[in-house]
Chains A and B, each alone.
Chain A
């Protein structure tokens, strides 16, 4: 696979090609991504992404915080699907502790995770279409996103960085009218997806911009480490929710959309179909939501209810100890992967027996997906680079951490 050797050094100094900097500040790079393009006229000869502009050292910071203090940090890594990051970290720590999570907490997690997936795909669709030129779709998607953000605010108090999932369950139970609001949203959402598809899928301009563009074969995608819709668009059938289920996903029925050609259009269709499947999962979660506690029974790890904390002495002492000293986690290491909207997001947590994690590593789906960009774009036009970057759905917060 010598032709897949990525990131070669670009050689300036000759007259045939020119090096163009698609700088970190660019409306189409979806964050601070810098791409160096060596172009011959309008054709891209070589391409080299340059990242690191959003590196904030989150992995190092996690080593200085208690386990429960890391949860708000995880929100901000992939900021378009904050609850998915929460979920992955929290599942890893629960695996280290050996905690069993009550069913209501698991179903709430699934429901909120799928709403987060819808949220993330709406941003992807809006910005991807905007880059290619279909500007109407952007505000349509953000109109639906506004409804979902209001739901997040209802359940956790925060629109985006919710920190709703905690070690041992979820932070709070849903308010009384929450499920009615979700049901109303789930009733109207499929018709909105029809609206987006009506504007884009059959549109000849969209098809000309996306069909046959930025192809990647299944073997190349697997070898380069792509995951999620980037991999499924090439026909590889793997979805961690169905194949290695976590947090109760084995109780839900959903299809996993696959592509055939591996071009921008197939990845677009995968994600649009995933929007429909996600709202189906939300409806199943609403119908079958079990009752019961939303936190595991582990007084030394999980914060007690506030009412109990204010009236019972033991609860007050546990609360004080957990907040000020954290909880010790037995030694060991765990790699927990979830299916984020972008692909396989994994957290590798190493514990040395103390109350602070020894090492937290985030396996970023977008970092691996970005390695497919040179293969997709070399030999194509500059405009196809924009379409390709949009189709792999990168979020620089996750790439750079």
Chain B
């Protein structure tokens, strides 16, 4: 079955509950949107991510109250290099949405969403461990999977698959 083309026009997609909520709060916080393969992706600016998550969690009508996942993709050598991805699920409405934040620089930093969902704790620790992205306001930002004295962030694209040891 051939794939439908991706829709990136915000005018066509602005009736989606997550997009309408964010546009209603502050139109500048949404950089762009994409609807591809039945999945909605919203690119959010770095400064607005914590507030955007809180608004979506408390959204009346379609509350995205469950944080499925936080992860990161390294697009080295493009710039902005990192993309932090939040997958949200609305348990009452059975809807998913993906929020993405683009970051650049060697030691990128982002606001933590543990004040919105305490379950973000381990996910953010894992992203810090494997990619080196700092989360401001995280209660205990230490390495999770690698040993404490490890140097380097293994899932970055300039870290070799075979490792250094």
Contacts and interface: CB of A to CB of B under 8 A. Distances in A.
Given A335-B69, A361-B71, A363-B68, A60 B154 contact: yes
B134 interface: no
A327 interface: no
Contacts of A337: 68
Contacts of B36: 332-333
Interface string B112-149: 00100111111100100010000000011001111100
A225 B67 CA distance: 6
Contacts of A238: 91, 94
B66 A222 contact: yes
Interface in A300-341: 330, 332-335, 337
A363 B87 contact: yes
Interface in A82-123: 95-100
Contacts of B3: 97-98, 330
Given A363-B68, A367-B122, A358 B161 contact: no
B121 A371 contact: yes
Given A225-B117, A238-B91, A52 B122 contact: no
Nearest to A352: B75
B61 interface: no
Which range holds the interface residue count of chain B? 35 or more
A20 interface: no
A60 B155 contact: yes
Contact of A99 (B1, B118, B161): B1
Contacts of A350: 73
A224 B68 contact: no
B69 A346 contact: yes
Interface string B89-117: 10100101010000000000000001001
A368 B89 CA distance: 14
Given A8-B139, A363-B87, A346 B68 contact: yes
B94 A244 contact: yes
* A224, A225, A244 pick with most chain B CB within 10 angstroms: A225
Given A335-B39, A335-B98, A1 B71 contact: no
A348 to B, nearest CB: 6
A368 B71 CA distance: 13
Nearest to A359: B73
Nearest to A56: B145
A52 B58 CA distance: 34
Which range holds the interface residue count of chain A? 35 or more
A367 B94 CA distance: 22
Nearest to B161: A64
A350 B73 CA distance: 8
Interface string A243-282: 1100000000000000000000000000000000000000
Interface in A1-58: 1, 4-9, 51-52, 55, 57
A370 B122 contact: yes
Nearest to A367: B122
Contacts of A359: 73-74
Nearest to B3: A98
A334 B71 contact: no
Interface string A352-372: 000000110101000110110
A5 B163 CA distance: 34
Contacts of B1: 98-100
B10 interface: no
Given A60-B161, A225-B119, A348-B87, A52 B73 contact: no
A371 B2 contact: no
B85 A348 contact: yes
Interface in B1-52: 1-3, 6, 36-39, 41
Contact of B145 (A52, A95, A334): A52
A400 B154 CA distance: 14
Contacts of A243: 94
A171 to B, nearest CB: 22
Contacts of A348: 69, 71, 85, 87
B59 interface: no
19 contacts: A5-B114, A8-B140, A55-B146, A60-B161, A63-B161, A222-B91, A223-B118, A224-B119, A225-B117, A244-B94, A332-B37, A344-B68, A348-B69, A348-B87, A358-B73, A363-B68, A363-B69, A367-B122, A400-B145
Interface of A: 1, 4-9, 51-52, 55, 57, 59-61, 63-64, 95-100, 222-226, 236, 238, 243-244, 330, 332-335, 337, 344, 346, 348, 350, 358-359, 361, 363, 367-368, 370-371, 400-401
Interface of B: 1-3, 6, 36-39, 41, 65-69, 71, 73-74, 85, 87, 89, 91, 94, 96, 98, 114, 117-123, 126, 130, 139-140, 143-147, 154-155, 159, 161, 163
Given A57-B154, A358-B73, 16 more contacts: A1-B118, A5-B114, A7-B121, A52-B144, A95-B37, A223-B119, A236-B91, A333-B36, A335-B87, A335-B98, A344-B89, A361-B69, A363-B68, A363-B87, A368-B119, A371-B121
